[in-house]
Chains A and B, each alone.
Chain A
Amino acid sequence: MQHILSRLLIIVSILTIAIIPHKLYSQSIISGRVINSQTKKALPGANLQILGTIRGASADLDGNFIIRNVPSGKFSIRVSMIGYRNLTKDILIKGKEELRLSFELTETPIQFDPIIVTAGKTRQRLDQVPVSLSVVSAEEIQRRNPTDLIGALESAPGIHFVGNQINIRGSSGYAFGAGNKVLLLLDSVPIHASDTGEINWDALPPLDIEQIEILKGAGSSLWGAAALGGVVNIITKSPSLDGKFLFSMNMGKYDRPYFKEWEWTDNERLYYFRTDLSYSKKIGNMGLRISAGQNTSTGYTQLGDFEKYNFASKIDYRFSNDIKWTGFAAYSYIDQGFFVQWKGQNDPYEVDEANLNNYATTNQLNLYSKLALPFSARFGINFRASLNRTLMGNQFGEGSYFNPAFGQGIEIQADWIPLFNHFVTFGLQYQHDAGSTKYFGDHKGYFIGPYLQNEWKVNDNLRITVGLRYDRYQLIGGAKEDLLSPRFGINWQPWANTNMRASVGSGFRAATIVERYLELSIMNFNIKANPDLKAEKSWAYDLGLRQYITHNWNIDLSLFDNEYWNLIEPHLDLIRGQIQFRNIARAQIRGIEATTTLSSLFEIFKQKMVPNLQASFTFIEHKDLIWHEPLTYRPKMLATIKSSIKTGAVMVQVDYRYASKIEAVKIYPINDRVAMKFLDARFSVNVWNLTFQIGAYNILQYNYAPMESNLMPMRTFTASLRGEF
């Protein structure tokens, strides 16, 4: 069946490409310029969107833009650019005309309501969506200077990492490297490993990221499988208009352990070093971005050492009539030790001598190709095709028993505006996954899912979203499951400074090949297959309020309730000493999240000071409703405070991250468990096109283990140099 569908999609794609140029017809043209309101300098790359249509454009090197084929009518045109406040103007187009507009954008230290795409598979303003969503901007990533994507995400509101597994409001827990209840997208294309469902946080360098969008709660009505507990969408930067070379060098030096008896080696030699290079340029209608990175570390524990390399390339080409093709390729190579558990609480940075050869290499390739075909101002089609190839080898010294896992995906999505106040998104997604190792045999499965969503703008203050997706999951030669994922949402702006949102939606995730079939012995535990695992399902309820106290200070409150059926969690058989993934018949995760963001501007001794503050608090109540006990590897409270003060070229940042003690664990409940309390500080200065930064992570030498027998890094001193030419 999947072959027939694949062929059908290819035929439809070719036919569409063939007929599109003839279908487009000339209408009005809007042109103009976007500049900085203070400096009056051009703002190349500023983004323009005619609301209520799929028409838009980007400003060129001189800040000029042209939007062609604009139909007649009354519209709003919105201009956005990172680091500037969004600006919206009303326009009236009568017949065929040429309209010239000028936009002056004002700088803002914090982007309060950026444009996002994850909530509705289309461009929307953050404060106009019906769901809870956080954004990590490129500026913030640059300020935090992380060495991987975990470092970019870990301080976002409601986020907590347990090992490499991301928890959005307590969604994932910890599954020992198998299965992830959060869908990871790269430019809206899934990139998780096809066999394990795991996320490779080293897939691309932080330097290439435009922004990261974190959708909180189930998102399967648009995104399908795996979007059970949320979606993380990494939006990569587009090629620069002029040739731009970026580089970043980060080095970190691990301090001695806080307790002298924990020293296991000469700590003077423990460090990491990361280098990234990126170049991008537009040549005519073609844009190109290439990047390469290397990350080497001795680790701070035995088996903590690694070498990582990644290469990424993004090419786009704009044909006549606004047809746009984008191609992306990312390759990463990782050779790293596997620290499964410490030798003992008095030797927490060492492993048992028998496990000193636990090294593994991973190769991952992610490719996607996208084609955007605007048929008219009110109708467009997007094609996406993707391929993920993951190869793990030398797992735990037993030789290369892994074959590559392949994931292939195709999607057709149409955006249609049948009436000026209805935005309809519909499409069909197909995903084929295959994995093969000696540990779980050869397995293949596929999803196919049509979806439909309508965003109805009832009036200027009220938006109603209704959506439905049907998915068929078929494990070839095995189980078949049919899943319906409806969604309903409201966004209401009763007053100018107040936004209310409410949504209800469902999510699901079918068990990965590894969760069903893996049979493996690691140390004293056997992992046992469970081919009968059912797909886990959820209903997510979210009620939110966003209030602007002033134009640069807002508060966001959210009440959430996620109801789960057949939640897949690792189960430890305490008699046989074996781990097996099983369904928890009913579970619930609910709570409240509050975030406040403020930015200010004042002068001290005629020196302009810009303080920024984002503080968030998340309370999570989670329980297994059958056995009335807390779910494992989830804290009850999360809090983050991110603060900075900038004056001239100098910036000081202080971050604090807190997570209450993990409520319950699987393997060693008798191990000491403590809350997470990390304090980080950074100092940076800009000179010419260079930014120097020094910092310290975990300043207070706090020893935290998110899962048993695994300590997080001790205090780490960092230094970096970043340049842009």
Chain B
Amino acid sequence: MQNKKLTFIFFILLLAIILECNIDHGIAPLPGKISVTIYFRGIPPSNTQGIYLIVAPKFPPHAINELYHSPNSLPIDKDTDIAEMELPYGNYDAVSLWWYSTETKSNIADVLALPLDPGNNLMPLSFEITSQKPVFEIELYANWNRVDRDAAIEGTIYFNGPFPENTHIIAVAAYQYEPQRNIHYLLWLKSMDYSINKNPYYYRLPVRHGNVNYIAVFWLPERADLTGFRTIGIYKAPDNPPQPGKLSIPADTTISGIDIYADWSLINP
């Protein structure tokens, strides 16, 4: 009797397994895609490692690994190219083209193209992929000059104390204009160095010639997302210290002595 019971249990379990397993097949191909036609202007800098199509489900992104990223570099030797990337159904807050240098790893200064929402220039262009409209098509305009850095700024950053223990990144960045909104930190960024690791720190930022109206030192604590950068110092105008210093840099020129004093009290007022 007991053996029959055990056998019954055995077969019931087997049946349950088979029924349960038949529900789905796990990971499946992505059903939608974005199709991007890219128009290039200028010529790629010699230190170009590649360009990658990036799609952000949320903007600003919390982390770079929350972005959809094309597996390979798109061709860089064409005037026009068409690239596609498979995506799941959903809403996407931004699409962009990122430039990777052979000299440094990807950083957020190297956005080559970022289309904006025509109705709201303070936000990137968002789009949706649904079962009714599984393909989203867009045109991107990539200006190689944006990443062709033919000039440089250099100086020393002085900190008024040791780095906090929870420091993740300390960066120095140069902007065309002083950022007012989140998106400006990307759009107006000309160059960034996030390898600051000692006090004082000598920096050299390669930039595109032209105007640099804002140079700042940022601090990012551990575990903070990309929106968590805090300003701890700016390059101040020598003749009007509270105001940001402004520079006009000719091509093939390095401007020296752009020193910055970083104040930790700004993150713990």
Contacts and interface: CB of A to CB of B under 8 A. Distances in A.
Interface in A578-627: 578, 598, 600-602, 609, 611, 613, 615, 627
Interface in B148-193: 168-169
B143 interface: no
Contact of B21 (A353, A602, A669, A700): A700
A711 interface: yes
Contacts of A711: 27
A576 interface: yes
Given A262-B29, A576-B194, A601-B3, A352 B71 contact: yes
B168 to A, nearest CB: 7
Contacts of A609: 7
Nearest to B5: A600
Interface in B1-59: 2-4, 6-7, 9-10, 13-14, 17-18, 20-22, 24-30, 57
Interface string A643-670: 1010000000010100000000011111
B17 A259 contact: no
B32 to A, nearest CB: 11
A577 B86 contact: no
B53 to A, nearest CB: 12
A258 interface: yes
B25 A258 contact: yes
B29 A345 contact: yes
A609 B86 CA distance: 53
What is the predominant secondary structure among interface residues of chain B facing chain A? Answer: mixed
Interface string B75-110: 000000000011010000000000010000111100
A577 B27 contact: no
Nearest to B13: A641
A352 B72 CA distance: 7
B6 A600 contact: yes
B2 A575 contact: no
Given A613-B10, A667-B65, A345 B30 contact: yes
A28 interface: no
Given A598-B6, A667-B65, A677 B18 contact: no
Contacts of A643: 10, 13-14
Nearest to B73: A354
A471 to B, nearest CB: 29
Contacts of A701: 25
A627 B4 CA distance: 52
Contacts of A703: 25-28
A600 B3 contact: yes
B193 to A, nearest CB: 11
Contacts of B13: 613, 615, 641, 643
A402 interface: no
B68 to A, nearest CB: 7
Contact of B6 (A346, A353, A553, A615): A553
Nearest to B70: A344
Interface in B222-252: 223, 226
Given A550-B2, A574-B63, A600-B7, A674 B105 contact: no
Nearest to A670: B66
A353 B29 CA distance: 20
A668 B66 CA distance: 7
A705 interface: yes
A261 interface: yes
A524 interface: yes
Contacts of A553: 6
B220 interface: yes
A535 interface: no
Given A656-B21, A668-B65, A677 B223 contact: no
A687 to B, nearest CB: 26
B64 interface: yes
A247 B222 CA distance: 56
Interface string A389-401: 0000000000000
A609 B14 CA distance: 17
Contacts of A9: none
A466 interface: no
Interface string A168-210: 0000000000000000000000000000000000000000000
Contacts of A601: 3
Given A601-B3, A674-B26, A700-B22, A526 B105 contact: yes
Contacts of B105: 524, 526, 576-578
Nearest to B85: A344
A348 interface: yes
A447 interface: no
A679 interface: yes
A351 to B, nearest CB: 9
A704 interface: yes
A602 B105 CA distance: 68
A442 interface: no
Nearest to A344: B71
A679 B18 contact: yes
A663 to B, nearest CB: 16
Interface of B: 2-4, 6-7, 9-10, 13-14, 17-18, 20-22, 24-30, 57, 63-68, 71-72, 85-86, 88, 100, 105-108, 168-169, 194, 220, 223, 226
9 contacts: A258-B25, A344-B86, A345-B86, A348-B27, A524-B106, A553-B6, A669-B66, A703-B28, A705-B27
| A-B pairs with lowest CB-CB distance, top 5 | A703-B26, A602-B3, A703-B27, A574-B63, A656-B17
